[in-house]
Amino acid sequence: MVHRVVITGLGTVNPLGLDVASTWASVLASRSGVRRIQGWDTTGWPVQIAADVQGFGPERVGHREANRYERFVWYALDAAKQALLDAGLDPAAPLGERAGVYVGSGIGGSQAIAKNALQIAKDGPRHIPASFVPQSLTNIAGGAVAIAHGAQGPSLCVSTACATGNHSIGEAWRVLRGGEAELILAGGTESAMFDLGLAGFMAMKALSKRNDAPEQASRPFDRDRDGFVMGEGAGVVVMETLERAQARGARVYCEVLGYALNNDAHHITAPPPGHLGAARCMKRALESAGLAPEQVDYINAHGTSTKANDAEESAAIRSVFGGHADRLAVSSTKSMTGHLLGAAGGVEAVLCALALQHQIAPPTINLDVPDAGCDLDYVPHRARPMPMRVALSNAFGFGGTNAVLVFGAAP
């Protein structure tokens, strides 16, 4: 038997807000979460801006947990608890053997690795804490969520760079469809907001240097974009079989209709001309959902605000949707959140669910003059009320990996 899969709970921590309500309010207000970096002295750095999480202290997860884990785990724990509460479930009640956790991260505990590398260079191995290895492991976020909520079913940590969140949700969808579990907490989390994390992307010349106007720095599809803005946070959703959700009278945000993944097999960081891998992935995702291109209303684009991605993604969308591409609403919420790396797909799934629930397409802010090849309707500047039955979410990662999710309005 193939089971239908729905999303019944949402949770997020990100630069726009520490919960779903404040995040959605920021999206509707076209607010940017990009600001000057305060965590360390960036004097003389070419990049001095980022989209960091503000106001999130250790008290949100408890000081014991905060001391045990790195911040990417803090964010996952908080977002997962939010999602369970939103789904009408008791976070203190063990979820049991039929519930799983698919929460991944692109970079994981890189901050712990950097900190302890400096420590061992200074003092040798004597002061390396016993917690170092667990703190550095990418899968500890999902493990911590499973422990916190007694989820003893299928558990998987996906780590596919910026496609992590989409792959996590998509693979969870497969497990639920096949009946191996009835509920899965799925999404992505990331916190690489420290000096080495920023310097690494800066060395690749991938980041915006619009230090004098941080809120205008992330500008997907715009002629004057000069790179992405690094962000952090988490997005986690409660996914259930439709039967389970209906049996307990749960509110349903949307249905997960389809999913596909593939690889460009082209270049470690750059898409091929026309982003053929992304085009194939979108086609296969629609096929898995049993939908025609003309049935799609909205696409949450990968839309990174880089020269390499935006025009090629637009070309891929046009190649898949043909004449219908001119009737699509396509937006990049990274214009507001920045690029949350492994957490991006999780947060964007939350926003797709809200878009379908409220029938409002999120905007692409800072889009003043579309660049050559960027010729779609990107919902510039302001959110747009519109009829919406089907939404796609695109995510592409370093290594050429692609993941596309298809969401449908609540059944």
Between β-strands 99-104 and 49-50, what pairing exists: parallel, antiparallel or unpaired?
A: unpaired
Q: Is 13 helix (H, G, I), strand (E, B) or coil?
A: strand
Annotated catalytic, 127?
no
For 227, phi then psi, to 5°, come to 135, 170
Strand-pairing partners, residue 360, are 385
Instruction: Supply the DSSP string of 56-87, one letter for each residue.
Output: --GGGT-HHHHHHS-HHHHHHHHHHHHHHHHT
Between β-strands 5-13 and 254-263, what pairing exists: parallel, antiparallel or unpaired?
A: antiparallel
Annotated catalytic, 324?
no
Tokens read off for 106: 């692109």
Cα–Cα distances (Å) from 159 to 138, 190, 287, 328, 376, in that order, read 8, 11, 25, 30, 31
Instruction: Supply the DSSP string of 350-399, one letter for each residue.
Output: HHHHHHHHHTEEPPBTT-SSBPTT--S---BSS-EE---SEEEEEEEETT
Q: Could you identify the residue written with the tokens 């898995």?
A: 288
Please pick, among 157, 167, 302, 352, the residue that the annotation labels catalytic: 302
Annotated catalytic, 358?
no
Please pick, among 157, 167, 339, 374, the residue that the annotation labels catalytic: 339
Please pick, among 162, 254, 281, 374, the residue that the annotation labels catalytic: 162
Q: What residues are labeled active site?
A: 162, 302, 339
